[in-house]
């Protein structure tokens, strides 16, 4: 089996936790980071208890702490003897309507989903440039395809910025051994969005499996699951605003 070393941020819950399980089942060595170390350690114990389990290391990391990101990512790379893939997954979705007197939530969403993603990418790309290879995976959203209203306004804008950032990085490393992949999930049910109305939503296991399979293909961009989001995502860009409002 080919040795693959994958680092996942935001791995203590939701899609990050699901990807950790899926990659572990495929024999990947894992570096898992998040703020909640108790959950990370429990997850690592679960994954390493499986027969023929690969190595799993963990570290506490608040991705909005730029200095910590610059320190922890290379430390984990050194522990595993390098990194083949870094998945920038950590994010929040607790925005508010702009101008409603809740700027803290919107600024936190923007900083976590965009600014912190740049810091994570800086740390990953420095390692990949030194190695001459690696895959940087940026988890955006189908929301990146269109400006959305209400609580989703800043979330969609941050994901759109991250999508453009991914494209710029891809242009920068074109023709090298470094691959930049953007994964744009549609609606996937996790404990983080329980109770929300989400058309065409799939369960976490289905959604995570689609994400991991797309990541392994190493595309430039992939909607996950592919159906119906590979159609609805591009269509969202062309919809008249009254229809966008009605759908979101």
Q: Catalytic residue numbers? A: 155
**By three-state DSSP, how is residue 175 classified?**
coil
Q: Which of 55, 18, 56, 10 shows the shortest CA–CA distance to 36?
A: 10
Cβ-proximal residues to 27 (8 Å cutoff; 6+ apart), any chain: 1, 4, 52, 54
Q: Are 47 and 53 in contact (CB under 8 A)?
A: yes
Helix 103-110 and helix 153-173: axis angle, to 10°? Answer: 20
Would you tell me how many other CB atoms lie within 10 Å of the CB of residue 240?
8
């Amino acid at each position: 089996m080919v040795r693959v070393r994958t680092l996942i941020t935001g791995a203590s819950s939701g899609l990050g936790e699901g990807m950790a399980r899926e990659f572990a089942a495929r024999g990947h060595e894992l570096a898992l980071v998040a703020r909640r170390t108790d959950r990370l350690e429990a997850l690592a114990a679960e994954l390493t208890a499986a027969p023929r389990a690969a190595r799993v290391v963990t570290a506490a990391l608040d991705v909005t702490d730029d200095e910590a990101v610059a320190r922890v990512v290379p430390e984990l790379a050194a522990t595993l003897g390098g990194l083949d893939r870094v998945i920038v997954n950590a994010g929040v979705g607790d925005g508010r309507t702009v101008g409603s007197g809740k700027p803290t939530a919107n600024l936190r969403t923007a900083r976590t989903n965009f600014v912190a993603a740049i810091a994570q990418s800086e740390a990953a790309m420095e390692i990949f440039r030194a190695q001459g290879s690696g895959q940087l995976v940026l988890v955006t959203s189908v929301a990146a395809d269109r400006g959305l209203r209400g609580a989703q306004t800043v979330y969609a804008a941050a994901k759109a910025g991250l999508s453009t950032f991914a494209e710029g990085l891809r242009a920068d490393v074109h023709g090298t051994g470094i691959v930049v992949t953007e994964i744009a999930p549609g609606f996937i049910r996790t404990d983080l969005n329980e109770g929300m109305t989400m058309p065409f939503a799939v369960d976490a296991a289905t959604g995570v499996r689609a994400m991991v399979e797309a990541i392994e293909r190493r595309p430039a961009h992939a909607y996950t699951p592919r159906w119906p989001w590979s159609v609805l995502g591009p269509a969202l860009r062309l919809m008249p605003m009254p229809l966008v409002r009605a759908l979101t």
